[in-house]
Amino acid sequence: MKKIAILGSTGSIGTQTLEIISEHKDKFQAEVLTANNNIDLLAEQANKFNPNVVVIANEDRYHELVDKIDNPDIKVYAGSKAIADVVSMSTVDIVLTAMVGFSGLEPTIGAIKAKKPIALANKETLVVAGDLITRLAAENSVPILPVDSEHSAIFQCLTGEWNNKIEKIYLTASGGPFRGYSEQMLKGVTKEDALKHPNWDMGSKITIDSATMMNKGLEAIEAKWLFNLAPEQIEIIVHPQSIVHSIVQFEDGSMKAQMGLPDMRVPIQYSLTYPDRFKSSFKRFNFLDYPTLSFHKPDQEVFKCIKLAYYAMQKGGNMPCIMNAANEIAVEAFLNEEIKFTDIPELIGNSMDNIQFIQKPDLEDYIKTDKETREYTKKKIS
């Protein structure tokens, strides 16, 4: 029985993880559930899965949450520090980090220092502080198992190939809801338009990131750290059908691809069962349903976030942290209908030009950079 701490249990990844636990009750147990603000769903999950601990990040809602939980033996805590602390519990076997954005960084660090294996769905952790996270993971002999479909695909393709040199990887992208749009066409898109992803069912923040293609830029930076790659070894290709989840090319020219229907439960389950594969009830892929699979280059002049991400990756230091913080604020502003869709890359680029660059940041530098960037970007919006 593997006991799992799910950080962000009320989000898309968290709820799908609980579906997997339901399907394999003899293999998995939800030991810790956390959420940012959604006490209704968190309480519902606690009442169904009976975890040891639940944590709500919003301390103001602690008493409301307590009142909604039926079992008095479930321990209830509140605040971001509590989330960072519970990951070190001796009863936790693996930590699935599905929190959105920068907030996932410190709990992930805490889990690594407690020598807990990490199932990583919070890509921003490696984007912001990849050097720090990979170094800590190596020092503590902690495996980082990727949950993102693209990185899980690369990871699966590399199983049995660890001694063989990677020449290049291809991260596939659906192209989002605006594939084929011109820059002029993007100026008129609405929040509702951007939230209609053609293939994947995700949370609102990552769905907007997919629409701007910043999500693919974040994934490129994450891949650099996960697989020890140079920026020029990572290529993004648009694959509208989302069947080939990513590809590894080896130095002999041969390539491996991982394929399947777009269903996040597959990479989530693999991260929890690795190196084994458990039987699932997920829908199976049929080649005859997809007689054509197509691939093409993304238009980086239209989807400028890709260029910003590659610049941040090449610059290094705290530049990806600046980019990520500005993106989180810009996406939030777009979702609140305070800015236009095309303002998102402009705001990010402006923050990258104006926040102090630090070549070799430590954790305190990352925290300070994140705070300063958020404040600066908010001022540009207001």
pLDDT tens digits for 13-50? 999 999 999 999 999 999 999 999 999 999 999 999 99
Per-residue model confidence (pLDDT) at position 101: 79
| Paired residues of 257 in beta bridges | 247
Per-residue model confidence (pLDDT) at position 28: 98
Per-residue model confidence (pLDDT) at position 123: 86
In whole angstroms, what is the distance from residue 298 CA to residue 280 CA?
A: 34
pTM, two decimals, is 0.92
Mean pLDDT (whole number) for 104-117: 94
User: Of how many residues is the chain composed?
Assistant: 382
CB count, 10 Å around CB of 58? 16
Which positions ≥6 away from 281 have C-beta within 8 Å? 23
C-alpha distance from residue 316 to each of 261, 302, 308 (Å): 34, 24, 12
Model confidence band, residue 196 (pLDDT cutoffs 50, 70, 90)? confident
In whole angstroms, what is the distance from residue 21 CA to residue 374 CA?
A: 36
Model confidence band, residue 201 (pLDDT cutoffs 50, 70, 90)? low
pLDDT tens digits for 243-276? 999 999 999 999 999 999 999 999 999 999 999 9
Which domains, ranges and CATH numbers included, belong to the chain? Answer: 2-146 (3.40.50.720), 151-262+283-315 (no CATH)
Per-residue model confidence (pLDDT) at position 200: 65
pLDDT tens digits for 84-97? 999 999 999 999 99
Label the pairing between strands 2-7 and 28-35.
parallel
Per-residue model confidence (pLDDT) at position 290: 94
Per-residue model confidence (pLDDT) at position 173: 95
